[in-house]
Amino acid sequence: MDNVLTYIVSGYNYWAALILIMIGMYGMIAKNNLLKKVIGMSIFQSAIILFYISISYKSNASIPIIAHGHGVADHTAIDPNLYVNPLPHVLMLTAIVVGVATLGVALAVLQKIYRVHGTIEEDEILESIKE
Amino acid sequence: MIAAQTPILILLAPLFSGILITIFAQKSKNVAFFLLILGMVGSFSAACNVLLQVLQGSGPIHYRLGDWPPPFGIELVIDHLSGMVLFMVSGAALLTAIYSKHTVEVEIPDRIHHYYTLYTLLVSGLLGMVATGDVFNLYVLLEISALSSYALLARGRGLAYIATFKYIIIGTIGASFYLLGVGYLYIKTGTLNMADLSTMLATPEMHQSPSIKIGFIFIILGIWIKMAFFPLQGWLPNAYSCASTTTSCLIAPLMTKVSVYIMIRLMFSVFSADYIFKTLQWQQFMVWMACIAIVVGSVSALAQRNLKRMLCYIVVAEVGYMVGGVWLANSNGFSGAVYHIMSDVMMTLCLFMAVGAVIYKTGETSLEAMRGIFRRMPITAAAFLVGGFSIIGIPPTCGFFSKWYLITGAIETGQFHFVIALLFSSLINAILFFRIIEIGFFSPFDENGHGTHQVIVVNEAPAMMLVPMVISAASLIIIGLYTRFLMSNIVQWTIPVGL
């Protein structure tokens, strides 16, 4: 029991991302309302962003800005353990932009669906297609 | 000076023409069309130039963006494989751009400049995916092309919106899986550059690591969703068949083929043939899946009464050919798959263009639209026949030679079920196309049932549509006739180490 707890606690950020991914997948697969599917998609993308951000963390490290680094003549070697990894943050800035764009396109298409079919419930749309 | 910059010009030419179209072409359709053609010609000539450089020079071209050295900065890597795919993608995009003049005016009457801007963004995204040497950059370009393809597909008719919505949800899951897989690789190696990744992943500890395996599974699943590989193909037929003619001419040949290219690139340039075929050992299972994809695609195509939907299911079957060829794990299967990427771009382009011309002239989308086609639209019908023969695999069209290599590869590894699936698909395709030929020749043209002996006026599509169609049809025969040349000069160089 103790081992299991340590196992879960040691990687709690991965568990959180996993649970969020599962919630997002559930929303996309099981929900009947198309807007809820879009929300599930957004949760799914955010979970991956959190996953990336969490892997850049180091204990007892500070933000990746080198104090007095600029213009100092003697370039002493920088200890990477003192700073969190900035690269995943930068990558996720791009991923956030992509996520916002996807959300925008999905909502625009959803609006068109509502205008054409008069509803955003999937089963009602399928009914109206069959007729 | 400019020669050193040609690799980036391949992507920048369409991107900038897109920006110019948004700014300057709001009033005039002709300006928009002119700028589109300008961008596509620029991109195509840069791609030709780069391909020639690769063929003459020694080794791949590395282009550093902003002159940052590779493990830290992004680089474009153009070798024989990516040079060839860049050439095909930019060529197909140029042909479709010329073709689009009339169809777009009919099908998308308002805001043509927005449509053309999305067109250029999609093309630059696809070209970027092919050229890049960085796995995260690939994700961004994948999403650029996916987002513009969602917007393009939504501007269709009928059920286009609901079909596009499904594609958005499924496509986003695919891209996110890819991103998640890249995250696993990044945790284990700390790098995103493909060449750097492949050296780090080459150690025995990495080969045994479960994280790398999970990362590979996520990445490959994401790409399979994007390429509509069975059983993840559900979104493709609806989304592509409801789209407007130009959109389906552009997206159907290119999107799936670029995804296949990316699968090959990641399997052999990031991971290695050693890892894929010796450590994972999925090849038996994967070839079976490819067989099922081929059979399901072909049989579903047979059940369709709508021309475009029929072609969409053929695309699903063709994806099975290429995936199966790659996973045969020998050099003949691999060269068959690479050669098939090249020929399949042109085959599907030719068929979609011919069908688009028929729909443009008759307004019908069912198989009955082909009635009297050989007398009404002789050139379109001839192009359609060449495309159909190539899909069936009749020499001297290129479809025969790709099947030849795939079957040789399958026999060498003893995977006879793949041979059977390929032959079965050829048979089904023969039935499909000869059924259409029968409708074209023998079905009475008008509703009263006595069209055969009355005068039928030749009513051919405009020249702007015919020229690209004839070029793509001719290229099928040319690629077929020059198979030996292409094999020894391009395809042979793409075969990865360890096959």
Assess whether pLDDT exceeds 80 at residue B401.
Answer: yes
CA distance B458 to B284: 52
Whether B241 is in a domain gets the answer no
Q: How many CB atoms lie within 10 A of CB B307?
A: 25
Q: Which of A95-109, B298-312, B441-455 has the lowest mean pLDDT?
A: B441-455
CA nearest A24 in B: which residue?
B173
Instruction: Give Cα separations from A73 to A31, A66, A68, B16 (angstroms).
Output: 61, 14, 10, 42
CA distance B39 to B91: 12
Distant-in-sequence, close-in-space partners of B317: CB < 8 Å, separation ≥ 6: B293, B294, B296, B297, B298, B301, B425
Find where tokens 């994809």 sit: B293
CA distance B321 to B392: 13
CB contact under 8 A, B172 and A116: no
- Count how many Cα atoms sit within 13 Å of the Cα of residue A97 in the half-sphere of its side chain: 10
CB contact under 8 A, A25 and B168: no
Find where tokens 């490819």 sit: B290
User: Residues of B numbered 119-138 whose beta carbons fall under 8 angstroms of chain A's beta carbons: which are they?
Assistant: 136
Which of left, alpha, beta for B262 (phi over 0: left; psi -120 to 50: alpha)? Answer: alpha
The pLDDT confidence band at residue B363, using thresholds 50, 70 and 90, is confident
Give ∠ CA A92-A94-A100 in degrees, rounded to 5. 100
State which amino acid sits at residue B369.
A
Assess whether pLDDT exceeds 70 at residue B88.
Answer: yes
Q: What is the mean pLDDT of residues B59-82?
A: 86
CB contact under 8 A, A106 and B169: yes
Assess whether pLDDT exceeds 70 at residue B446.
Answer: no
Does the beta carbon of A52 lie under 8 angstroms from any beta carbon of chain B? yes
Q: Which DSSP category does A121 fall into?
A: B
CB contact under 8 A, A109 and B172: no
Residues spanned by the domain of B435: 282-499
Assess whether pLDDT exceeds 90 at residue A20.
Answer: yes
Assess whether pLDDT exceeds 80 at residue B3.
Answer: no
Whether B291 is in a domain gets the answer yes
The pLDDT confidence band at residue B17, using thresholds 50, 70 and 90, is very high
SS3 content of chain B, % helix, strand, coil (to 5): 80, 5, 20
Does the beta carbon of B168 lie under 8 angstroms from any beta carbon of chain A? yes
CA nearest A115 in B: which residue?
B161
Does the beta carbon of A35 lie under 8 angstroms from any beta carbon of chain B? no
Task: Reply yes or no: is the peptide bond before residue A64 cis, omega within 30 of 0.
Answer: no
Q: What is the mean pLDDT of residues B303-325?
A: 90
Query: How many residues in total does chain A contain?
Result: 131
Residue A96: per-residue pLDDT: 93
Gyration radius of chain B's alpha carbons: 22
Residue B304: per-residue pLDDT: 87
Strand partners, B193: B134
Distant-in-sequence, close-in-space partners of B48: CB < 8 Å, separation ≥ 6: B87
Q: Which of A28-37, A103-112, B23-32, B208-217 has the lowest mean pLDDT?
A: B23-32
Residue A13: per-residue pLDDT: 86
Residue A70: per-residue pLDDT: 60
Residue B220: per-residue pLDDT: 92
Q: What is the mean pLDDT of residues B186-212?
A: 88
CB contact under 8 A, A25 and B173: yes
CA distance B53 to B2: 13
Whether A13 is in a domain gets the answer yes
Residue A72: per-residue pLDDT: 57
CB contact under 8 A, B162 and A101: no
Residue B263: per-residue pLDDT: 92
Whether A119 is in a domain gets the answer yes
CA nearest B169 in A: which residue?
A41
Whether A75 is in a domain gets the answer no
Assess whether pLDDT exceeds 70 at residue A50.
Answer: yes
Residue B261: per-residue pLDDT: 93
Answer for the pair B376, B451: CB distance below 8 angstroms, yes or no: no
CB contact under 8 A, A109 and B143: no
Residues spanned by the domain of A121: 2-58+82-130
Q: Average pLDDT of chain A?
A: 86
CA distance B402 to B390: 10
Residue A69: per-residue pLDDT: 59
Assess whether pLDDT exceeds 90 at residue A24.
Answer: yes
Q: Between these two residues, A109 and B280, which has the higher pLDDT value? A: A109
Q: Average pLDDT of chain B?
A: 87
Whether A66 is in a domain gets the answer no
Residue B445: per-residue pLDDT: 59
Domain with residue A103: its CATH number is 1.10.287.3510
CB contact under 8 A, A37 and B179: no
Does the beta carbon of A103 lie under 8 angstroms from any beta carbon of chain B? no
Q: Which of B26-40, B418-432, B454-468 has the lowest mean pLDDT?
A: B454-468
Q: What is the pLDDT of residues B267-307, one digit of tens each?
A: 988 888 888 888 888 888 889 999 999 999 999 998 888 88
| Helical H segments across B266-397, by residue range | 273, 283-302, 307-327, 331-362, 373-376, 378-392
List the one residue out of B83, B100, B188, B229 whose CA is nearest residue B152.
B100
CA nearest A107 in B: which residue?
B165
Residue B146: per-residue pLDDT: 92
Give ∠ CA A97-B185-B150 in degrees, rounded to 5. 35
CA distance B328 to B411: 10
Residue B109: per-residue pLDDT: 73
Assess whether pLDDT exceeds 90 at residue B43.
Answer: yes
CA distance B319 to B298: 11
φ, ψ of residue B193 to 5 degrees: the values are -75, 135
Residue B180: per-residue pLDDT: 92
Does the beta carbon of B202 lie under 8 angstroms from any beta carbon of chain A? no
Q: What is the mean pLDDT of residues B238-250?
A: 86
Residue B178: per-residue pLDDT: 94
- Per-residue burial over B91-116, b if 16 or more Cβ lie within 10 Å, else e, is bbbbbbbbbbbbbbeebbeeebbbbb
Question: Residue B147 is nearest to which of A95, A102, A125, comparing CB atoms?
Answer: A102
Residue B362: per-residue pLDDT: 82
CA distance A130 to B346: 36
Q: What is the mean pLDDT of residues B11-25?
A: 90
CB contact under 8 A, B169 and A37: yes
Question: Residue B168 is nearest to which of A88, A109, A129, comparing CB atoms?
Answer: A109
What is the DSSP code string of B428-474?
HHHHHHHHHHHHHHHS-SSTTS--TTS-----PPPHHHHHHHHHHHH
Q: Between these two residues, B499 and B254, which has the higher pLDDT value? A: B254
Chain B closest-CA separation from residue A69 CA (Å) = 20
Q: What is the mean pLDDT of residues A52-77?
A: 74
Residue A74: per-residue pLDDT: 56
The pLDDT confidence band at residue A80, using thresholds 50, 70 and 90, is confident
CA distance B142 to B138: 6
User: Coil, strand, or helix at residue B132?
Assistant: strand
Residue B456: per-residue pLDDT: 65
Answer for the pair B353, B99: CB distance below 8 angstroms, yes or no: yes
Q: What is the pLDDT of residues B105-127, one digit of tens each?
A: 888 777 888 889 999 999 999 99
What is the total count of domains within chain A?
Answer: 1
What is the total count of domains within chain B?
Answer: 1
Answer for the pair B337, B229: CB distance below 8 angstroms, yes or no: no
Q: What is the mean pLDDT of residues B429-455?
A: 72
Strand partners, A121: A33
Mutate to test the interface with B, among A96, A105, A122, A131 (most CBs of B within 10 A): A105
